[in-house]
Amino acid sequence: MKSYSIALIPGDGIGRDVTVAAWSVLETAAKNFGFALAGTEFPWSCRFFKETGRMLPEDGIETLRGFDAILLGAVGWPAEVPDSVSLHGLLLPIRKAFVQYANIRPHRLLPGVKGPLRAEGFDILCIRENTEGEYSGAGGRVHQGTLDEVAVETSIFTRAGVERILRFGFEQARARRRKLASVTKSNAQKYSMVFWDEITRKLAADYPDVEVTSYHVDALAARMIMAPESLDVVVASNLFGDILTDIGAAIQGGLGYAASANINPDRSAPSMFEPVHGSAPDIAHLGIANPIATIWSGAMMLDHLGETAAAGRVMKAVEAATARGIGTVPGKDRTDAITAAVVAALT
Ligand code: GGG
């Protein structure tokens, strides 16, 4: 029987609640489709940081390298560890070390879920550049604590990095409705974003079958709310993609439905799957977190592993549950009730 090794990093807060839920769905799907998932759990989190002074152990990246994929819950315990420390200590180093340069985030309404907009028929695939840009971690502070203090955050955009994410977006658009929105703020950011626009124009020549439109990020944000059905694939930098996908989550009914995949397209290292949401410490372990975003991320993991039939079946089961109203109203159904409904729809 085919077996896949999965590194499980529940992380902080509701990360554990939703990871346990998703894992039971994925194990059921694996059983039904005749393959095995061998999960190994790692305690890396803000709690681990408090105990060891590190979010990831020194050999953490090398340990993860041996797995077929990583399923992550959520990271952050701001009352105890600054968010900048937890993000730069765990999530960002994994994305970078494993060249997971494409962060794929699908936004559509599941049956039975009411979004805040009148528009119902939208289906947007946001692709966020995931290894450079505004989250490069380059910069510094001088004269700290004085009136002369200066903080500099440097955005790094490389030709290789921008080309590969745009190419990835063009390929995704080709497999969908052949429309690509390339997002910048090139009127204000005259180096990096003009560079991005130039590369978009250059690559467009290789994809004459894809309709390309360049948007400024503010206009694209408004379009996502006013006319989401007009968008297909959206490609944006790390920061812009992070922000736009919270709008995407909002229009699909909330962060409880927003899935994501951090993909290494070359398959030279494991890819990582995680819900878009954070750790929500205020509702951790109360049994009320919505596990759908993590289950959906798990389906994306199965798809990436080549188990496409099982992945499709998991999504059908999620849709069957939400079509019956399960998990569609915040706070109505408990985590285990939503999970049980999805598992039942799988069998
Ligand atoms: N589900 C992972 C998580 O905890 N995300 C919260 C977060 O702040 N993510 C930032 C990012 O995706 O760059």
Residue ranges of domains in the chain, CATH in brackets: 1-101+261-346 (3.40.718.10), 115-252 (3.40.718.10)
Q: What is the pLDDT of residue 119?
A: 77
Q: What is the pLDDT of residue 331?
A: 85
Known active-site residue 209: no
Q: What is the pLDDT of residue 120?
A: 80
pLDDT, tens digit (0-9, with 9 covering 90-100), for 94-126? 999 999 999 999 999 999 999 998 878 999 999
Q: What is the pLDDT of residue 217?
A: 98
pLDDT, tens digit (0-9, with 9 covering 90-100), for 231-247? 999 999 999 999 999 99
Which among 276, 290, 301 is the best mutation to test ligand 1's pocket, defined by most ligand atoms within 8 Å of the CB?
A: 276
Residue in 101, 135, 207, 257 annotated catalytic: 135
Ligand 1 center–CA 149 separation, angstroms: 29
Ligand 1 center–CA 44 separation, angstroms: 14
Nearest CA residue ID for atom 5, ligand 1: 278
Least confident range of 2-11, 89-98, 118-127, 209-218: 118-127
Q: What is the percent of the chain with per-residue pLDDT over 90, rounded to a whole number?
A: 98
Asked whether residue 347 carries a pLDDT value surpassing 90, the answer given is no
Give the mean pLDDT of 221-237: 97
Please identify, by atom number, the ligand 1 atom nearest to the C-alpha of residue 11: 4
- How far apart CA 83 and CA 145 sit, in angstroms, is 21
Nearest CA residue ID for atom 2, ligand 1: 74
Give the mean pLDDT of 132-143: 96
pLDDT-based confidence at 315, cuts 50/70/90? very high
Q: What is the pLDDT of residue 133?
A: 97
Residue in 2, 50, 190, 218 annotated catalytic: 218
Ligand 1 center–CA 2 separation, angstroms: 31
Nearest CA residue ID for atom 11, ligand 1: 242
Structure tokens at 183: 């997002």
Asked whether residue 253 carries a pLDDT value surpassing 90, the answer given is yes
Which among 83, 91, 263 is the best mutation to test ligand 1's pocket, defined by most ligand atoms within 8 Å of the CB?
A: 91
- Per the DSSP assignment, residues forming a β-bridge with 7 are 40, 70
Q: What is the pLDDT of residue 147?
A: 97
Residue in 4, 12, 17, 185 annotated catalytic: 185
Give the mean pLDDT of 4-24: 98
Known active-site residue 59: no
Q: What is the pLDDT of residue 156?
A: 97
Known active-site residue 185: yes
Asked whether residue 230 carries a pLDDT value surpassing 80, the answer given is yes
pLDDT, tens digit (0-9, with 9 covering 90-100), for 25-45? 999 999 999 999 999 999 999
Known active-site residue 123: no
Give the mean pLDDT of 67-71: 98
pLDDT-based confidence at 75, cuts 50/70/90? very high
pLDDT, tens digit (0-9, with 9 covering 90-100), for 151-204? 999 999 999 999 999 999 999 999 999 999 999 999 999 999 999 999 999 999
- Rounded to two decimals, what is the model's pTM? 0.96
Known active-site residue 135: yes
Asked whether residue 338 carries a pLDDT value surpassing 80, the answer given is yes
